[in-house]
A and B are shown apart, each in its own frame.
Chain A
C-alpha cells in the first residue's frame, strides 16, 4: 500500500511538473519550453541569460501566479469532489452538481456586497465562500437524505434546487450592487482564473492544507463507510462524526477555491472518477492522488482556455463544463440506467 502510494504520487508529481512547464511556455507571446525552464532555473542556478527581460516578466509575473492558482483551485475542487463522493457513497456528487459551489459564490458575493470582505478581503472572502458552501451543503443533505441515506435521484435533485436557489439569490444581489462593482462581480462569476497575488494564494493554500488534513485523517473510516454505515459502526467508526467532519472540510476547501476563481464546474466530478478508474476505490490512495491529478487537470484546461482563441481568452469554467457535461451524461447512461426510482 505504502509503496503503491509513493509510486502513484511520484508519477503524478512528474506529470504535474510537465503540465506546469507546458502551461508556462505557451500563451499569446511565444516562449520556448527550454527558455521557460531556464528562466525558472535561473532563480536557483547561475545560468547564462538567453532570454529578454520581457520574456522573464511574462513567465514569472504573469504566467506563474496563474498556473499556481490553477493548480490550487484544481486540487481544492478535486479534493472536495472526492470527499463528497465518499460520504454520500455517490459517484455523481461534486461541489458544482451539489450546489455547494453556488452557495460559495453567493457567500463571496455577499462578502463583496456588504463590504465586509473589503477591509481584510484577502482573509475574509475565502471564509465568506466557505460559509456559503457549508450552508448549501447542509441544505442539500437535509433535502436529499432519506433515513440517513443519500439516494442518487434525491441527491441530484436537491443539488439542482439548491444551485438554482443560490444562483437566483446572486442575481438579486447583483441587481442591487452599484454598476462599478457589478462589473467585478460579473467577471468573477463566469469562472475565470485571474492574476492572483501571493497573499491570496497563501490563504487558499492554507484552507486546502487544513481541508486535506481533515479529510485524509478520515480516509480509513471513509473506506469502512463505503461498506455501509452499520458495518462501519460495528468496526468502530462513528459515521455521523466522520460525515460532519468531511462536510466542513469540503465546504472550507470549496469556498476558498470559489472565492478566487468563481464556479469552475465538473472538476470535482471528473478527476476523482478518473483516479478511481485507474487506482481502485481505496480512499487512502484516491484522496492524495485526486489532489495532484486535479492540479494537473486544471493547469491543462486553463492553458487551453488561455490559448484556443488567443489573444482573447475563454473562462476556464466553460472549458471544464464543455468536457465535464458529456462525461456526466456518459456516466448517467452507462452506470445508472438500471437504477429504479
Chain B
C-alpha cells in the first residue's frame, strides 16, 4: 500500500506547477512553484503564518520546537533553527523552504541555495514587519487574499487594544528573556512594539536583546517585571523571589512580576495580537474588568 502512495506523491510533485518569481524580504528574487505543494518552515512563527493562511496541508516539515497549531506537531521535524538537518530537508523534496532572519542563520540560506532548493527569506522587524512578512508569505504560498484578510483582522484587534489603554498611565516595564545572565528585550523588537501597544513603556532602549546590569535594575527599578518563560516552566515564576539581588528589587518585592508565555510573545506571527491583548490585561487589569489575566 505504501508504494502506490509514494508513486502518487512523486507523480503529483513532478506535475508541472506554474512558476512565479517573487522578491523576498532579504532582497533576493526567488523562482517558486506556484502554489508550492511541499513547504518546510524553519521557524515556529513561519509555521504559524502558513497554517493561519490555510496552507497548512502543504507543510511537510517544521522545526523541532514548532508546537502551534496542534496539527503542526505531526509534521516531520527537521532539527533546530540554528542547525537544521540538511539531510532531512533534502529527503523531504521541498519546493519551498521559508527561512527567518530572526530565527535562522544566513549560512543555512546559502547552503540551501547551493542545494538548489527554493528558499524564501522573511525579516520581521517590529509589528509592522510581522504584518509585512505575513503578506510576503501569503504571496509565496499563493494565498494573498487570505493574508490581506488576516492582516486587516489583526489591525482591528490591535487598534481596539491600544484604544482601551491609550488614556491610562504607562507603567515602566522590564521584559526579561533570560535571568542569568540577565538578557532583556530592547528597542526595535516586536516585543518592544507590543509593550507600547499594550499601554506600557519599555525601560530598555538599546536595540535588540541586550545584556542588562543588575546594578541598573537596583538603581532604577521598573514598575513591572515581565518574565518570559517556556510554557512548561510558567509555574517557575516564583523563582525570582528567591534570587539574591532580585528579591530586593522593588517590583519583585511588591509582587509586580508577571509571568508570560515566551513562545506567544517572541514569535513574530499571527498570534502577536493574542500577545498584545494578554499584555494589556497584565499591565492594565483595571481596564479589563471581570476578564482576569
On A, residues with C-beta under 8 Å from B are: 27-29, 53-55, 57-58, 61-63, 179, 183-184, 187, 195, 310-313
**A61–B87 touching, CB < 8 Å:** no
Complex CA gap A87/B249 in Å reads 61
- Per a CB cutoff under 8 Å, which of A29, A183, A195 touches B105? A183
What's the nearest-Cβ distance from chain B to residue A179, in Å?
A: 7
Task: Supply 7 further A-B pairs (C-beta < 8 A) apart from A29-B90, A311-B77.
Answer: A28-B87, A29-B91, A54-B91, A58-B91, A62-B90, A187-B82, A312-B83
Tell me if A's interface is mostly helix, strand, loop or mixed: helix
- Per a CB cutoff under 8 Å, which of B80, B82, B85, B115 touches A57? B115
- Per a CB cutoff under 8 Å, which of A58, A184, A187, A312 touches B87? A58
Looking across the interface, which residue of chain B has its beta carbon closest to that of A312? Answer: B79
Complex CA gap A310/B93 in Å reads 20
**A61–B79 touching, CB < 8 Å:** no
Contacts of A29 on B, CB cut-off 8 Å? 87-88, 90-91
Complex CA gap A57/B115 in Å reads 8
CB contacts under 8 Å to A, within B29-82, are: 77-80, 82
Q: Is B111 an interface residue (CB 8 A)?
A: yes
What's the nearest-Cβ distance from chain B to residue A89, in Å?
A: 42
Ordered by A's residue number, 16 sampled pairs between the chains whose C-beta atoms are within 8 Å are A29-B90, A29-B91, A54-B90, A55-B91, A57-B90, A57-B115, A58-B87, A61-B90, A62-B87, A62-B90, A310-B85, A311-B77, A311-B85, A312-B79, A312-B80, A312-B85
Q: Is B18 an interface residue (CB 8 A)?
A: no
Contacts of B83 on A, CB cut-off 8 Å? 312-313
CB contacts under 8 Å to A, within B93-140, are: 93, 105, 107, 111, 114-115
What's the nearest-Cβ distance from chain A to residue B74, in Å?
A: 17
Contacts of A62 on B, CB cut-off 8 Å? 86-87, 90, 115
**A27–B80 touching, CB < 8 Å:** no
Complex CA gap A184/B93 in Å reads 28
On B, residues with C-beta under 8 Å from A are: 77-80, 82-83, 85-88, 90-91, 93, 105, 107, 111, 114-115, 208
**A179–B87 touching, CB < 8 Å:** no
Contacts of A63 on B, CB cut-off 8 Å? 87
Looking across the interface, which residue of chain A has its beta carbon closest to that of B208? Answer: A179
A28 and B88 contact, Cβ closer than 8 Å, known pairs A183-B105, A311-B77: yes
Contacts of A195 on B, CB cut-off 8 Å? 86, 111
**A28–B111 touching, CB < 8 Å:** no
Contacts of B90 on A, CB cut-off 8 Å? 29, 54, 57-58, 61-62
Complex CA gap A195/B84 in Å reads 13
Contacts of B88 on A, CB cut-off 8 Å? 28-29, 311
What's the nearest-Cβ distance from chain A to residue B119, in Å?
A: 15
Looking across the interface, which residue of chain B has its beta carbon closest to that of A180? Answer: B106
Complex CA gap A203/B105 in Å reads 25
Interface centre among A58, A63, A179, A313 (most CB of B within 10 A): A58
Contacts of B208 on A, CB cut-off 8 Å? 179
What's the nearest-Cβ distance from chain A to residue B219, in Å?
A: 23
What's the nearest-Cβ distance from chain A to residue B66, in Å?
A: 14
Nearest 9 A/B pairs, CB to CB: A311-B85, A29-B91, A28-B87, A29-B87, A57-B90, A54-B91, A54-B90, A58-B87, A58-B90
Complex CA gap A187/B88 in Å reads 21
Contacts of A55 on B, CB cut-off 8 Å? 91
Complex CA gap A310/B83 in Å reads 12
Looking across the interface, which residue of chain B has its beta carbon closest to that of A179? Answer: B208
Contacts of B78 on A, CB cut-off 8 Å? 311
Contacts of B77 on A, CB cut-off 8 Å? 311
Complex CA gap A54/B90 in Å reads 6
What's the nearest-Cβ distance from chain B to residue A29, in Å?
A: 5
**A54–B105 touching, CB < 8 Å:** no
Complex CA gap A18/B197 in Å reads 62
Contacts of A58 on B, CB cut-off 8 Å? 87, 90-91
What's the nearest-Cβ distance from chain B to residue A317, in Å?
A: 15
- Per a CB cutoff under 8 Å, which of B85, B93, B115 touches A61? B115
Looking across the interface, which residue of chain B has its beta carbon closest to that of A195? Answer: B111
Contacts of B82 on A, CB cut-off 8 Å? 183, 187
Contacts of A313 on B, CB cut-off 8 Å? 83
Complex CA gap A295/B82 in Å reads 28
What's the nearest-Cβ distance from chain B to residue A184, in Å?
A: 8
What's the nearest-Cβ distance from chain B to residue A17, in Å?
A: 22
Complex CA gap A179/B80 in Å reads 19
Contacts of B87 on A, CB cut-off 8 Å? 27-29, 58, 62-63
